[in-house]
Amino acid sequence: QGRALEQSDQSPFNRIVGNGKWGIVANGVTFDYVYDAVKDLKIGDKVSILILGLSHPLPKKLGLKFLRQVEKVLIAEELEPINEMELKALAQENGIAVPIKGKGVAAFSRLYEYDPGMVRKAVAEYFGVPYKAPVAVTVSDLPPLPNRPPSLCPGCPHRASFYAVKQVYGNDTIYPSDIGCYTLGVLPPLSAADFVICMGGGVSSSCGFAQATDQKVVSFIGDSTFFHSGITGLINAVHNNHKFTLVILDNGTTAMTGHQPHPSVDTAAMGLNLPQLSIEEVVKGCGVKDIHIVKPFNIKKTMESLQASMEYDGISVVISQELCPLFAKSVGKGRKAKPFVINQEKCKNHRDCLNKLACPAMYLEGERVMINQNLCIGCTVCAQVCPEHAIAPMKD
């Protein structure tokens, strides 16, 4: 704590701007709002702003310097009043009797995020600066924006896995899911997530559904989440001989939060040399007897493995291995494939490709389905889905 306090006091991220008598404390995005408010209200010469880039522990020496140069203080801090309480305590311990307020000024509360207008109003109200809120821009006469639902990336292997699973298991199956990019499988047309509870909740709730219903159960979990909290549920499934299929979507990284490594990631490309665990060996070690390793871009073989998994009387695990294309690109392992095109003469325009996969590289031009060459990574999945064999790699 002592060293952290010293670092906080010396950190270039913690500093005082200005030397006016009106003190404002801000951290993170609220500093930008405060900066704009001070400019808009033309009170730059009247304020001192304590910017807390490293807000915990509160830099005491800097805080004291700030408290001694101001006459009153406004804390612009979102959510819990941590800085507010600490600054008040610091003032009290040092006998400094300046008014300090945060929560309760204008609309500053513990709830929700602040916004520029809210901060401007609070600054004006607290320091008694005349202020007129700008007239809100009316947008009622603008045409509505098209919906842009979140979507798996073009060529995402999860799309291929979901497609294959739905082809084999259909809609009358319970699909628990978990937390990761693959949660996006919830949206149509994939519709491969009936619910998400918490990290690892998909596997453990699958045990319950397998026990309590006659429906088939296919549970999805990512590689990273599997290591985080999927193993306990899997052990429970083995121990109690629950019958369901667990699909581990192994894209070789923790994709959703920015490609952090996890225990089965090859860290050599990142300049690290950490021991690498095999998901298959971990699954075997948990006691699973029926394990299938699939490459999801091979739809036919993936479906065959899923079929075998469905017929197994017990817990079956399918490990679907294909690197996240964004991660692959970042470590120099991106696909070298050509983008795909639709042969418009062969295409019967029944839109199986669009309606069953919804790859964002596909779009409608007039009534015809097209592929955006800049987005397509040549994963081949749409070509396997098209019953007319109308989709093929672009020719030179």
Binding stretches for ligand SF4 (CB under 6 A): 154-155, 340, 342, 347-353, 357, 359, 361-362, 369, 371, 376-382, 386, 388, 390-391
**Residue 104: CB minimum distance to ligand SF4, A:** 53
Closest CB to ligand SF4 among residues 79, 394: 394
Rounded-to-integer distance, Cα 272 and Cα 96, Å:
50
The angle, 0 to 180 degrees and rounded to 10, between the axes of the packed helices 82-93 and 60-69 is 70
Task: Output 201 or 325, the one with its CB closest to ligand SF4.
Answer: 325
Best CA proximity match to 302, nearest among 338, 250, 227, 345 = 250
How deeply is 245 buried, as exposed, middle or buried, from its count of CB atoms within 10 A (0-12, 13-18, 19+)?
Answer: buried
Shortest CB 182 distance to ligand SF4, Å: 16
Helix (H, G, I), strand (E, B) or coil at 318: strand
Neighbours of 252 (CB within 10 A): 22
156, 324 Cβ separation under 8 angstroms: yes
Q: Least separation, in Å, of the C-beta of 111 and ligand SF4?
A: 42
Looking at the Cβ atoms of 310 and 361, the one nearer to ligand SF4 is 361
Q: Which is nearer to ligand SF4, 22 or 340 (CB)?
A: 340
Give the tokens for residue 46: 């009247």
Q: Which element (helix H / strand E) includes 256?
A: none
Least distance in angstroms from the C-beta of 340 to ligand SF4: 4
Dihedral angle sign, alpha carbons of residues 83, 84, 85, 91: positive
- 80/67 Cα distance (integer angstroms): 21
The distance of closest approach from Cβ of residue 360 to ligand SF4 in the complex, given in angstroms and rounded to an integer, is 8
- Cα separation, 166 vs 173, in Å, equals 9
C-beta of 282 vs 376, nearer to ligand SF4: 376
**Rounded to the nearest whole angstrom, what is the least distance from the CB of residue 145 to ligand SF4 in the complex?**
24
Please state, in angstroms and rounded to a whole number, the distance separating the CA atoms of residues 68 and 96.
Answer: 7
CB of 223 to ligand SF4, least distance (A): 21
Residue type for 291, please?
Answer: I
Nearer to ligand SF4, 311 or 345 (CB): 345
| Look-up of token digits 């990273």 | 224
- Find out whether 328 and 321 touch, Cβ atoms under 8 Å: no
Quote the least distance from Cβ 393 to ligand SF4, whole Å: 8
| CB nearer to ligand SF4: pick between 315 and 377 | 377
Strand order in the sheet with 22-26: 14-17, 47-52, 22-26, 72-76, 100-101
Specify the amino acid at residue 85: M
Minimum Å gap between C-beta 395 and ligand SF4 is: 15
Alpha helix ranges (H) inside 24-156: 29-40, 60-69, 82-93, 116-127
Phi, psi dihedrals of residue 342, rounded to the nearest 5°: -100, 125
Query: Where does residue 39 rank: exposed (0-12), middle (13-18), buried (19+ CB within 10 A)?
Result: exposed
Complex with ligand SF4: residue 289 or 348, whichever CB lies closer: 348
Rank residues 100 and 390 by Cβ distance to ligand SF4 and give the closer one.
390
Q: Give the residue with the Cβ less far from ligand SF4, 221 or 357.
A: 357
To ligand SF4, the closest distance from the beta carbon of 341 in angstroms equals: 9
